[in-house]
Amino acid sequence: MIVGLVDYGVGNLHSLVKALELGGARVRVETNPRLALAADALVLPGVGAFGPAATRLAAAASELRDALRAGFPALGICLGMQLLFEGSEESPGEGLGIFPGQVRRLRTRRVPHMGWNWVSARPDPLFAHRPLLSAYYANSYIAVPEEPGDVVATSDYDGVSFPAAVRRARTWGVQFHPEKSGLAGLDVIRAFLAQVRR
Protein backbone atom coordinates (compact mmCIF):
# COMPACT_ATOMS: atom_id res chain seq x y z
CA MET A 1 0.00 0.00 0.00
CA ILE A 2 1.24 3.48 -0.90
CA VAL A 3 0.36 6.55 1.14
CA GLY A 4 0.65 9.99 -0.41
CA LEU A 5 1.91 12.38 2.29
CA VAL A 6 1.52 16.04 1.40
CA ASP A 7 4.52 18.27 2.18
CA TYR A 8 3.45 21.89 2.76
CA GLY A 9 7.15 22.87 2.64
CA VAL A 10 7.40 24.07 6.24
CA GLY A 11 8.48 21.23 8.50
CA ASN A 12 10.10 17.89 9.18
CA LEU A 13 7.91 14.90 8.29
CA HIS A 14 10.43 12.25 9.37
CA SER A 15 8.54 10.92 12.43
CA LEU A 16 5.28 10.64 10.50
CA VAL A 17 6.95 8.84 7.59
CA LYS A 18 8.52 6.35 10.03
CA ALA A 19 5.19 5.74 11.81
CA LEU A 20 3.37 5.08 8.52
CA GLU A 21 6.16 2.71 7.46
CA LEU A 22 5.96 0.89 10.80
CA GLY A 23 2.24 0.54 10.10
CA GLY A 24 3.06 -1.31 6.88
CA ALA A 25 2.76 1.43 4.26
CA ARG A 26 5.13 2.73 1.64
CA VAL A 27 5.20 6.52 1.76
CA ARG A 28 5.53 8.98 -1.10
CA VAL A 29 6.11 12.54 0.08
CA GLU A 30 4.53 14.91 -2.45
CA THR A 31 4.83 18.69 -2.65
CA ASN A 32 2.14 18.60 -5.37
CA PRO A 33 -1.10 17.51 -3.62
CA ARG A 34 -2.54 16.21 -6.93
CA LEU A 35 0.19 13.56 -7.10
CA ALA A 36 -0.76 12.31 -3.63
CA LEU A 37 -4.10 11.20 -5.12
CA ALA A 38 -2.21 8.67 -7.27
CA ALA A 39 -1.50 6.71 -4.07
CA ASP A 40 -3.89 4.43 -2.15
CA ALA A 41 -4.55 6.97 0.61
CA LEU A 42 -3.85 10.59 1.47
CA VAL A 43 -2.31 11.95 4.66
CA LEU A 44 -2.31 15.66 5.51
CA PRO A 45 0.34 16.20 8.22
CA GLY A 46 0.25 18.49 11.22
CA VAL A 47 3.06 20.87 10.35
CA GLY A 48 2.71 24.61 9.70
CA ALA A 49 0.02 27.29 9.78
CA PHE A 50 -3.45 27.19 8.22
CA GLY A 51 -3.10 30.02 5.68
CA PRO A 52 0.15 28.95 3.99
CA ALA A 53 -0.90 25.26 4.00
CA ALA A 54 -4.29 26.13 2.48
CA THR A 55 -2.48 28.10 -0.21
CA ARG A 56 -0.35 25.03 -1.01
CA LEU A 57 -3.51 22.94 -1.40
CA ALA A 58 -5.51 25.56 -3.32
CA ALA A 59 -4.56 24.54 -6.88
CA ALA A 60 -5.64 20.95 -6.20
CA ALA A 61 -8.47 21.71 -3.76
CA SER A 62 -11.26 20.80 -6.16
CA GLU A 63 -9.72 17.42 -7.02
CA LEU A 64 -8.95 16.68 -3.35
CA ARG A 65 -12.49 17.61 -2.32
CA ASP A 66 -14.06 15.45 -5.04
CA ALA A 67 -11.82 12.47 -4.25
CA LEU A 68 -12.48 12.55 -0.51
CA ARG A 69 -16.23 13.00 -0.97
CA ALA A 70 -16.18 10.01 -3.35
CA GLY A 71 -14.57 7.83 -0.67
CA PHE A 72 -10.82 8.17 -1.23
CA PRO A 73 -9.32 7.38 2.21
CA ALA A 74 -7.64 10.27 4.00
CA LEU A 75 -6.22 11.11 7.40
CA GLY A 76 -5.62 14.69 8.53
CA ILE A 77 -3.34 15.19 11.54
CA CYS A 78 -3.47 18.35 13.70
CA LEU A 79 -3.21 21.13 11.09
CA GLY A 80 -4.14 18.47 8.50
CA MET A 81 -7.41 17.87 10.36
CA GLN A 82 -8.09 21.61 10.47
CA LEU A 83 -7.56 21.87 6.70
CA LEU A 84 -10.49 19.47 6.27
CA PHE A 85 -12.77 22.23 7.60
CA GLU A 86 -13.96 25.39 5.85
CA GLY A 87 -11.69 28.04 7.35
CA SER A 88 -9.71 29.14 10.40
CA GLU A 89 -9.34 32.11 12.73
CA GLU A 90 -5.58 31.54 12.52
CA SER A 91 -5.19 33.11 9.09
CA PRO A 92 -7.03 33.69 5.80
CA GLY A 93 -7.40 30.74 3.48
CA GLU A 94 -10.00 28.26 2.38
CA GLY A 95 -9.98 24.74 3.77
CA LEU A 96 -11.26 21.72 1.87
CA GLY A 97 -14.68 21.90 3.52
CA ILE A 98 -15.11 18.14 3.89
CA PHE A 99 -16.43 18.90 7.37
CA PRO A 100 -18.81 21.86 7.73
CA GLY A 101 -17.45 24.16 10.43
CA GLN A 102 -14.61 26.47 11.36
CA VAL A 103 -11.34 26.30 13.26
CA ARG A 104 -10.98 28.70 16.18
CA ARG A 105 -8.34 29.59 18.72
CA LEU A 106 -8.41 27.70 22.01
CA ARG A 107 -10.20 29.84 24.61
CA THR A 108 -8.12 28.67 27.56
CA ARG A 109 -5.76 30.29 30.04
CA ARG A 110 -2.73 28.54 28.59
CA VAL A 111 -2.09 28.38 24.86
CA PRO A 112 -0.65 26.45 23.11
CA HIS A 113 -1.90 23.11 24.35
CA MET A 114 1.32 21.11 24.57
CA GLY A 115 1.86 17.62 25.89
CA TRP A 116 -0.06 14.46 26.72
CA ASN A 117 -3.81 14.30 27.15
CA TRP A 118 -6.53 11.68 27.30
CA VAL A 119 -8.59 10.94 24.21
CA SER A 120 -12.02 9.39 24.76
CA ALA A 121 -13.51 7.80 21.63
CA ARG A 122 -16.94 6.67 20.52
CA PRO A 123 -17.16 3.39 18.56
CA ASP A 124 -15.10 3.93 15.40
CA PRO A 125 -12.66 1.73 13.45
CA LEU A 126 -9.79 4.14 14.19
CA PHE A 127 -10.14 3.50 17.93
CA ALA A 128 -11.37 -0.09 17.93
CA HIS A 129 -8.38 -1.31 19.96
CA ARG A 130 -8.02 1.79 22.14
CA PRO A 131 -11.25 3.66 22.90
CA LEU A 132 -9.33 5.52 25.62
CA LEU A 133 -5.76 6.54 24.94
CA SER A 134 -3.18 9.08 25.99
CA ALA A 135 -1.97 11.11 23.00
CA TYR A 136 0.44 13.95 22.34
CA TYR A 137 -0.89 17.41 21.42
CA ALA A 138 0.75 20.58 20.11
CA ASN A 139 -2.01 22.99 19.10
CA SER A 140 -3.37 26.48 19.64
CA TYR A 141 -6.50 25.96 17.52
CA ILE A 142 -9.38 23.48 17.55
CA ALA A 143 -12.01 22.50 15.00
CA VAL A 144 -15.65 23.33 15.72
CA PRO A 145 -17.82 21.06 13.54
CA GLU A 146 -21.34 22.14 12.63
CA GLU A 147 -22.47 18.49 12.73
CA PRO A 148 -21.98 16.86 16.17
CA GLY A 149 -22.21 13.44 14.53
CA ASP A 150 -18.88 14.06 12.79
CA VAL A 151 -17.06 13.92 16.16
CA VAL A 152 -15.76 10.45 17.04
CA ALA A 153 -13.45 11.36 19.94
CA THR A 154 -12.98 14.21 22.41
CA SER A 155 -10.35 15.58 24.77
CA ASP A 156 -10.53 18.06 27.65
CA TYR A 157 -7.94 20.76 28.20
CA ASP A 158 -8.06 23.46 30.86
CA GLY A 159 -11.82 23.06 31.25
CA VAL A 160 -12.58 23.04 27.52
CA SER A 161 -13.86 19.92 25.73
CA PHE A 162 -13.00 19.78 22.03
CA PRO A 163 -12.99 17.29 19.13
CA ALA A 164 -9.95 15.03 19.26
CA ALA A 165 -11.06 13.17 16.12
CA VAL A 166 -13.67 13.53 13.40
CA ARG A 167 -14.88 11.24 10.65
CA ARG A 168 -17.04 11.50 7.58
CA ALA A 169 -17.18 8.40 5.32
CA ARG A 170 -13.50 7.42 4.77
CA THR A 171 -12.02 10.77 5.81
CA TRP A 172 -10.68 11.04 9.35
CA GLY A 173 -9.04 13.90 11.19
CA VAL A 174 -7.19 13.72 14.52
CA GLN A 175 -6.16 16.83 16.45
CA PHE A 176 -3.39 14.98 18.28
CA HIS A 177 -0.14 13.66 16.78
CA PRO A 178 -0.33 9.85 16.53
CA GLU A 179 3.24 9.74 15.21
CA LYS A 180 4.40 11.21 18.55
CA SER A 181 2.03 9.22 20.76
CA GLY A 182 3.97 5.98 21.19
CA LEU A 183 2.29 2.59 20.78
CA ALA A 184 -1.20 4.05 21.19
CA GLY A 185 -0.61 6.44 18.30
CA LEU A 186 0.84 3.67 16.16
CA ASP A 187 -2.35 1.67 16.80
CA VAL A 188 -4.38 4.59 15.40
CA ILE A 189 -2.19 4.74 12.29
CA ARG A 190 -2.43 0.96 11.83
CA ALA A 191 -6.20 1.14 12.20
CA PHE A 192 -6.37 3.80 9.49
CA LEU A 193 -4.19 1.73 7.16
CA ALA A 194 -6.39 -1.33 7.84
CA GLN A 195 -9.38 0.70 6.67
CA VAL A 196 -7.49 1.69 3.52
CA ARG A 197 -6.87 -2.00 2.75
CA ARG A 198 -10.57 -2.87 3.05
DSSP type of residue 95: -
On whether the CB atoms of residues 42 and 73 are closer than 8 A, the answer is yes
Residue 112: asked if its preceding bond is cis (omega within 30°), the reply is yes
What residues contact 14, with CB distance under 8 A and at least 6 apart? none
Query: Which run of H or of E encompasses 193?
Result: helix 182-197
- Give dist(CA 18, CA 98) in Å, integer: 27
The residues carrying an active-site annotation are: 78, 177, 179
Beta-strand ranges (E) seen in the chain are 2-6, 26-30, 41-44, 74-77, 87-88, 101-105, 113-121, 132-139, 141-145, 151-157, 160-168, 171-174
CA-nearest of 72, 94, 79 to 9 is: 79
